[in-house]
Structure 1
Amino acid sequence: MNGIIIITTDSLAKRAFANRLHKRSGGRVDLVIVQQTHCKPLHKRILGYVRKVGILGLPREIWFTLLWLFLPRVRRTHSWLKARSENNRAAISWVPKTVTVESVNTDKVREIIAAYSPKLIVIWGGMIVKTQIINLASHVINMHFGWCPYYRGTHCNHHAILKDDWERVGITIHYAVKAVDAGEIIAVIPGDPAKRPIELFQDLNNRAEAMYLNIALRLLKDERVSSKSQDLSQGKNYLLKEWTYERRYRLGKLLLERTKKRI
């Protein structure tokens, strides 16, 4: 069919994006594949604690978990990184056809995508998409919430803030390849460090999502889209196991402190 396949998770912002892309492309979004997110059972979460910090680090991690749970003001700051203009009207429901799956990397999903013979696969959701899926389209792009090549992997803007590297808080649009967030860069959208954190991220997310949509439309029309390779030695691939409750808590405190300084 040579249209668009979107691979994502469910949220208001992602529904709005998919619906707008479907409308702007003249109905060329053939399918939205929605990967389910699951809350791990308690015993697996405890094992996850141990894997992240080790037995000796467990009491400290539990302490910061309690601080996180009982200090909602700190906890709420994390929603600032997802701030964007209201898009509820465009996100009441999915307009394109959707299918919900446990994982996007199964043979069944590969067969579903192959049947559509897409020109473009658009990824938004943080999941790792394997080569067997990436190879199914002429163009496969991803929107990464971090500044490549410096911050690749997961929770990248979070880590940049923890390192006081506000000049490299941003969003990268790149071609998807086998390695995580390592494909050629199409665009980097920078945040504005002069703004208060919530305003910074609302502006950043709005601009990045608009640019992502426009890049998708250009690729669909076979327009030339320039890109450049990454020098991976300049940065780091951050892993999920590095994102501890201590770091969550410290990030929240930093966001509150920075907001006070800019009032």
Structure 2
Amino acid sequence: MVAGQPEQKRIVILTRDGPEHRYVANMLCAGLAIDRIIVDRSARRTRLRRAVRKGLVHFLGKATRAVFLKMIRDDEARTRSLESLLGQKAQTFYASDRIVYVEGINGTASLEVLRQRRPDAILSYGTSVVKDAVLDSATDICINLHTGISPQYRGTACSFWPVVNDELDMLGATIHECTSGVDSGPIFETVHSRYEPGDDLHRIFGRAVMVGAEAYVRVVQRYVAGTLSGVSQDLSLGREYRGADLTIGPELVARRRLARLRSIAEISIIGQNDR
């Protein structure tokens, strides 16, 4: 538990530069006094070696998914869906005077900013795994927003896998202490998001971002007030999903499930109109 009298805290955000990252950072800045926002602009690395270790069939499944997503211009669809759903807050960082761009969240430049600012708390969202050198830069605590329901869904693409597994009740976000483990620290708040008829995979993710950002502000406000407490995770529940698990098979399963849900919704609307 983090306890004590409310006091001014120096808070630094670690994030990236996509629509969802800008939205979360802007929500945090609107509700809290943020000292700096460290934005990682480095290119994400593809874990081909891990996919190869899983065998040729798995590697081909991952490569086929990459080709499929490129053919359907999924990156463009993702940006359109997120910017449409998240609105103006996803367009640009509002606190441009507090932005520091770096190449690698665990790199020398990031560590130097943290050394200079000496934050009480570090808030992370959407970065690569934060290493101990960065975590140790916070004098009080590091907190993370995970767009998935932990501990059942930990790791990568945790608004995607509930669709694959036909568990739409497991969509949402978890605010937890950021540790060197993947989405494994004590939980401060869990919130669920809703699937809305017609949602694609990206809007489903965006809804988790929206409820997660609201919860993130509440959690950090409790930290500042000295009333924050968390609950340890039972990591025997659920599993950790990795980028190497994203192959063409699950991708097609998820898209077929959503297509079927859209068809059911359309049939229902037609039936209501015919009454």
Q: Which residue of 1 aligns with 2:213?
A: 209
List runs of 5+ in structure 1 lacking aligned partners: none
Q: Which residue of 1 aligns with 2:36?
A: 31
Aligned: 1:15 with 2:22: yes
Aligned-partner Cα distance in 1 for 2:227–2:165: 36
Classify 1:111/1:258 alpha carbon distance in 2 versus 1 (closer, same or farther; 3 Å): same
Q: In structure 1, what residue type is equivalent to 2:190? A: V
Equivalent of 2:150, from 148, 151, 158?
148
Q: Which residue of 2 aligns with 1:95?
A: 96
TM-score by length of 1: 0.81
Query: What RMSD over aligned residues (CA atoms) do the two structures have, in Å?
Result: 3.3
Aligned-partner Cα distance in 2 for 1:74–1:15: 17
Segment of structure 1 superposing worse, 105-114 or 54-63:
54-63
Shift of the alpha carbon at 1:17?
3.4
Identity %: 23
Equivalent of 1:252, from 235, 252, 255?
255
Q: In structure 1, what residue type is equivalent to 2:189? A: A
Classify 1:224/1:82 alpha carbon distance in 2 versus 1 (closer, same or farther; 3 Å): farther
Segment of structure 1 superposing worse, 140-149 or 104-113:
104-113
1:224-261 CA-to-partner distances (Å, cap 9, x unmatched) read 02310000001111111111233333322322222222
SS where residue 141 of structure 1 aligns?
strand
Q: In structure 2, what residue type is equivalent to 1:34? A: V
Shift of the alpha carbon at 1:32?
1.0
Counterpart contact for 1:197–1:258, Cα < 8 Å:
no
Segment of structure 1 superposing worse, 162-171 or 8-17:
8-17
Classify 1:52/1:247 alpha carbon distance in 2 versus 1 (closer, same or farther; 3 Å): farther
SS where residue 110 of structure 2 aligns?
helix
Aligned-partner Cα distance in 2 for 1:232–1:49: 23
Equivalent of 2:181, from 155, 179, 184?
179
Aligned-partner Cα distance in 1 for 2:59–2:27: 45
Number of equivalenced pairs:
256
TM-score by length of 2: 0.78
5 Å matches for 1:92-131?
A: 94-131=95-132
